[in-house]
Structure 1
Amino acid sequence: MIMGVPRPEYPRPTLVRDQWLNLNGPWLFEMDAEDQGLRSAWFSTGLPKPSPIVVPYPVESEASGIQQLVPADVVWYQRELEIPVDWQDRVVLRIGACDHWTRVFVNGQEVGQHRGGYAPIALDIAHALKPGVNRLVIRVQDSLSWTQPRGKQAGTTRWPIDYDSVTGIWQTVWVEPLPTVSIESTSFDYCCVSGELTYRVYFSGQIDGEQTLEISRNGVPVAKASVETGLRSEARFKVVIEDGELWSPAAPHLYDVSLKLVNHRTNEIDEVTSYLGLREVSVDNGELRLNGERLFLKGILDQGYFPGGWYTAMTDDDLRADVELTLAMGLNCARKHQKAEDPRYLYWADRLGLLVWAEMPSGKIFTTELIETLTGEWIELIKRDRAHPSVIAWVPFNESWGVWHQAERPEQRAFVEGVVGITKALDSSRPVVGNDGWEFSAGDLWTLHLYFENRDVATRLAELIEQPDSSVTDEYGGLKRVGALPGANIEGLPILLTECGGVGFGHYSEEDFSYGEIPQTEQAFETQIREIAAMIGAAPQLQGFVWTQLTDIQQEINGLLYFDRRPKLPLATLREIFDQLGHENAVFAKGG
């Protein structure tokens, strides 16, 4: 039973305002199997036969109180909303994430729509509000179609690596009062050699005003600057921070940031607080580097599913615990796989020193709809997350999902390469992995998925380096998946093994799935992990790995932890295994 407001913490840690109202908690809910709610004007008259639901937990979760594993394609939410009397001007409703097509009504008036299940939603609602109690109604339409980005959610087909679906609201809902033009996001990049910090502030619209930036460390001012916005929708600062304390997994130093935007036309002021970590991610001389030092990535494939809340962690402490568990196993990175994770996870990664690969959930059928939705959401997610120092790489595609035929169909390859270009245009401070796993065509790292099919990894890597157009795998319908597409240049790129391991242990049902034979004892499980780790350690070509995976999830039993986060082996044992990897004295081989 959930007591009080669930997930009460401020949901957007890189952009915090004093005034806000959390709308999590009890709502009314109704499934609309016949899709009659619009025709019957439920948005105006109210839901006819509602049941209670707890927001922000998805419909399929136990915590929602609904726990309907196969909900109707259309569902409705409703609650009353009373705005504080001193919120006189602009009011914005924000939904962290809602899957998939969201339409919002206030007092019977539609105030906006959004397509996509992962990017945040922000809608101006002041024009539809009235004094006193207001009715807020949200209609959500989802489907099983693979023409929309859905990640690991089962659709019209269900692979052994897919899980139950996610429908509706699954991140915090809140409202906040804002000036006519407000601060909406930030980003930064830092040069370790010069100490120069480039800091950008992005606004909700063009503004003639003054933007002020103040940076401090432990209450001591470090830098302060102001710029005129010049009727633009963003402002840029360049400041030098001498002898800066760098952010890294070993020492995740953070600086406090205060931002103040003054509107010259209206005299309105917007003030927010944030933070930043001084760190530089680069690819130099064929090496992946953090703060100029060679980085060996020791990662975990983290799908981001949780007991009770399914796609939504029950508490903020659960998000923190996953970061802590990853670090306790001797790992330094989480590849958040096929899910754009709750920003609160990224907050704890920033605070505790865990590197993160941010990945766009895939669709699996190449259509105009997929192009539009994936590109639009990916842009919004980059804007949301590029202020997090823990995020060190962008991954828009995985294993050619949704672009299965890019080797033969130029429009699919153009899509991948176009999204890589857009990503670099939005953020040039991080590497981009265009298509993780195989069929490289564009990006900054050559990343491969190898599950050790009775051959040692060093030999297989050597073969791929010698002949990049040789097959990485043929498991997808017997189609050959090559390391790199014709004409793609992998010369000098760092090589990382971004899926490996996948050893299963435990038994739930006849549907249990893992990679390879499932060991029957804890000792056999440990032996297999050690054998694979030894193969990784014997491959001097590698500059990192990502182990599959953090936890068991439904039929997939290849977690290092059970779904309830109990370790399958002592954490100290896992740490001892992974601590041995890192190739401190190796000379890295590079692509090509």
Structure 2
Amino acid sequence: MSKESIPRGEYPRPEAKRDNWTCLNGRWDFEFDPENKGLREKWHLGPDLGNKILVPFVFQSRASGIDSKALVETVWYAREFELKKESKASRETLLHFGGVDYETDVFIDGLHACHHEGGCTPFTVPLSAFLDGNGREKHWLVLRVKDPPFSRDIPRGKQTTEMKMAGARYERCTGIWQSVWLEQVNDVYLDRETAFIRANPWTGDVTAYIRPAGKHDANLVIEATVRDEKMQQVSETSFMFVNASLGGFLSQRRLEMNVDVDAVIPWSPSNPTMYSVVFRLIDGDSDEEDVLDELECSFGFRTIEVKDNHVLLNHESLYLKQVLYQGYWPDGLWTAPSDEAIQQDLQLAASMGFNCLRLHQKVEDPRLLFHADRMGMLLWGEMANSWSNSYNSHKNLLVEWLNVVRRDRNHPSIITWVPYNESWGTGDLNLPENQEWLKSVYRATKYLDPTRPVVDNDGWEHVLTDICTIHDYSPPDEFARHYPIEKPGDVSTFLSNLHLNRHLFAPGCMSRNEPIMITEWGGWAQNLDDPNAKSDMFACWGYQGIIYKDFNDILDMYGQIIDALIERKSWIAGHCYTEFCDYFQEMNGLLTFDRRPKGDLRKVKNINDQL
């Protein structure tokens, strides 16, 4: 397969990039293992798999070339890869997986190299221990992937756990769904997972954290500089020493830099200026100060906070005009067909007058976050939830969620974290033990990233949250009656008494005067290709069970609720419309599933621009 024809061949992790990399996307061998016999028959030793699949698309997708809806728990992948000859000077090869759903065993030349659980987050396999001394230039990479189709303990978001899709439950996504790639590095290198950059637009101070990884017995120096969008150095160089006698522990915990505050351009939707920290790992025992690794990590100067019932971006009040975005694609399911398609979705949202996507029940492709940073589209980052309240479901979610926060916390476009939606997987929040669990997830998120607001449980039954979010799918007249035009004198009592689907706060929990947002509303369905379609959970579904024939009717209701929100703008800080586009049988999008507008999007923008 030529380089030009490799699917999703762009660099997969652009916010923290290295130059020396090889994409492994393309045609792989593939096989279903419904009898779970692959290990017994030692498929990992000499795979002779009968199918072909186009990576990084899951077998349930048309883009994969298989397009099967088989309810199979275990599948196998295999391909040969060749290390570049010039990489022999490098002593370590890193094998990266952007996302494999759900449980993965990796084999290299028949040897078990890694076990990973989690379908939403990346993982990396250092290969030197499996490649050294075997005399080969070509190697076999084999994956065994297990994804129980009916498990409710797995954080799978909107993937159905039933026999077929219905309502707001969508197609399963099993196996590789993000890019696979190799990077050649030295035997000691910079650990991307530990990179965290905090930048203050009012002082120009930049604080960066990163650690080395791999094997080393040398003293190391980590050097960092700040560069602007033109890659011009705009800070002094900061150094951090890693003492070999301490087993790699840092003798200084962070790198401190400063950019002339008069030259700092704060990141905002109207001016999304990006900077980068270039980290260099240097051999401290070498007279030549050999550079062992270099990693360029992007960031923006901006602050986000909640204060006095408002969300403040760079100390200025921010009204959020969000649209719900679930990130499925007709041909690729969880995987966008191209990098250009991702950019087009962001452009479409902006063309309708939205300034924020509420990423919903899916951890998004890093390329979307990268483009949102540069296009000025705000994002709420949300975890895919499981559907049970058990020890395993809690463990699975927390481990993955914290890795999500680590992966994405350098993106200025992400302004809010949302670990749970509508109590999915929390258990009965009337019970103190389940409330404590939700509080612990909130606190763990704040520990990893104290710079952003956290919504504990979007929609209702909050226990400890920085924004009070409400889901209200009422028709316009009823919607307006729920919320007085003037801010209630006792907001906490008002919210405690507002009972839509469930109570907004769990028993014993109260509002702390946080900002209030209506983060789901609308949901009005239209089947553009069949105007006479009837409401059907399996074929054509929307909220309230109504399928509208004319998009102008939806626009009229949309405008009525926006008018109501305008009147209440003094105390309701934002909203989120359901939703960006149709998904399978859920047809309440402003666009069809294949991103065709259902009407004049300029009219949507004109209404949104009133806020």
Is 1:204 aligned to residue 213 of structure 2? Answer: yes
* 1:404 shift after superposition: 3.3
Tell me the CA shift for residue 205 of structure 1: 6.2
Paired residue for 1:100, among 90, 99, 102? Answer: 102
Aligned pairs for 1:516-535 within 5 A: 516=544, 517-535=546-564
Q: Which moved more, 1:129-138 or 1:373-382?
A: 129-138
Structure 1 stretch displaced more, 200-209 or 103-112: 200-209
Farther-moved stretch of structure 1 (327-336 vs 173-182)? 173-182
Q: Could you tell me how far apart the structure 2 residues matched to 1:487 and 1:265 are? A: 59
Which residue of 396, 414, 420 corresponds with 1:391? 414
Q: d(CA) in 2 for partners of 1:334 and 1:229?
A: 41
- Mapped contact 2:476–2:561 kept (Cα < 8 A): no
* Alignment counterpart, residue 259 of structure 1, candidates 259, 270, 279: 279
Asked whether the equivalents of residues 156 and 386 of structure 2 are also in contact (C-alpha less than 8 Å), the reply is yes
Letter in 1 for 2:282: V
Counterpart for residue 536 of structure 1? 565
1:168 paired with 2:155, answer: no
Separation of aligned partners in 2, 1:565 and 1:64: 20
- Partner residue in 2 for 1:132: 137
The separation in 1 between residues aligned to 2:428 and 2:25, in whole angstroms, is: 43
TM-score (norm 1): 0.92
Aligned to 1:477: none
Q: Give the TM-score of the pair, scaled to structure 2.
A: 0.90
Equivalent in the alignment of 2:70: 70
Q: Do the aligned residues in 2 keep the contact of 1:458 with 1:538 (CA within 8 Å)? A: no
Give aligned pairs, total: 573
Give the Å deviation of 1:350.
Answer: 0.5
Q: Does 1:237 align with 2:279?
A: no
Instruction: Note the 1:573-592 alignment, pairs <5 A.
Output: 573-581=603-611
| 3-state SS of paired residue (2:368) | helix
Residues 240 and 254, structure 2, Cα contact 8 Å, conserved in 1 = no
Matched, 1:311 2:334: yes
Q: Is contact 2:238–2:257 with CA below 8 Å preserved after alignment? A: no
SS of equivalent residue, structure 2 residue 559: helix
Write the mapping of 1:87-486 to structure 2, written as runs, cut at 5 A: 87-88=87-88, 89-129=91-131, 130=134, 131-143=136-148, 144-156=150-162, 160-185=167-192, 186-204=195-213, 208-217=219-228, 218-230=230-242, 231-232=248-249, 235-241=253-259, 242-243=261-262, 244-264=264-284, 269-408=292-431, 410-453=432-475, 455-462=477-484, 465-470=492-497, 472-474=499-501, 481-486=502-507
Offset of 1:53 from its aligned partner? 0.5
The residue aligned with 1:570 is 600
Structure 1 residue 126: Cα displacement: 1.8
3-state SS of paired residue (2:443): helix
1:435/1:202 CA distance change after superposition, 3 Å:
farther
Please give the secondary structure, in 1, of the residue aligned with 2:64. coil
Equivalent residues of 1:458, 1:539 under 8 A apart = no
CA contact (8 A) 2:226 2:257 kept: no
Return the letter of the residue paired with 1:213: A
Alpha-carbon distance between aligned partners in 1 of 2:322 and 2:541, rounded to the nearest angstrom: 21
Deviation for aligned residue 1:458: 4.4
- Is the Cα contact below 8 Å between 2:476 and 2:560 reproduced in 1? no
Distance in 1 of aligned mates of 2:202 and 2:276:
22
Per-residue deviation at 1:553? Answer: 0.6
Shift of the 344–215 alpha-carbon distance from structure 1 to 2, 3 Å rule, reads same
Deviation at 1:178, TM superposition (A): 2.1
Provide the C-alpha distance between the structure 2 equivalents of 1:439 and 1:525, rounded to a whole number of angstroms.
29
Distance 1:361 1:444 in 2: 20
More displaced stretch, 223-232 vs 130-139: 223-232
Report the CA distance between 1:209 and its aligned residue: 2.1
Deviation per CA, 1:219-239: give whole Å up to 9, x if none.
432113222244436952233
Percent of aligned pairs with the same amino acid: 35
C-alpha displacement at 1:532, in angstroms?
2.2
How far the C-alpha of 1:92 sits from its partner, in A, is 1.2
Q: Which residues in structure 2 correspond to 1:493-572 (within 5 Å)?
A: 493-506=514-527, 507=530, 510=536, 511-516=539-544, 517-540=546-569, 541-572=571-602
Amino acid in the other structure paired with 1:536: L
Q: 1:546 to 1:263 in 2, by over 3 A?
A: farther
- Distance in 2, matches of 1:386 and 1:523, equals 40
TM superposition shift of 1:454: 6.2
Mapping of residues 26-45 of structure 1, within 5 Å: 26-45=27-46
1:527 CA drift (Å):
1.3
* CA displacement 1:338-379 (0-9 Å, x = unmatched): 000000000100110000100000001011111111111111
1:486-532 CA-to-partner distances (Å, cap 9, x unmatched) read: 33231220011111111111146733111233222132122122122
Structure 2 Cα separation of the partners of residues 459 and 196 of structure 1: 47
Tell me the CA shift for residue 426 of structure 1. Answer: 0.5
Superposition deviation, residue 572 in structure 1: 1.1
Aligned counterpart, 2:245: none
* 1:146–1:387 distance in 2 versus 1, CA, 3 Å: same
* Separation (CA, whole Å) in 1 of partners of 2:396 and 2:361: 15
Q: In 2, Cα distance between the equivalents of 1:150 and 1:403?
A: 14
Aligned residue for 1:220, secondary structure, equals coil
- Distance across 2 between alignment mates of 1:55 and 1:70: 18
Q: In structure 2, how many angstroms separate the alpha carbons of the residues matched to 1:183 and 1:472?
A: 50
Q: 1:577/1:465 Cα in 2 relative to 1: closer, same or farther (>3 Å)? A: farther
* Amino acid aligned to 1:252: P
Deviates more, 1:335-344 or 1:508-517: 508-517
Contact preservation (8 Å) 2:476, 2:557:
no
Does the residue aligned with 1:275 lie in a helix, a strand or coil? Answer: strand
SS in 2 for 1:112: strand
Give secondary structure in 2 for the equivalent of 1:473. coil
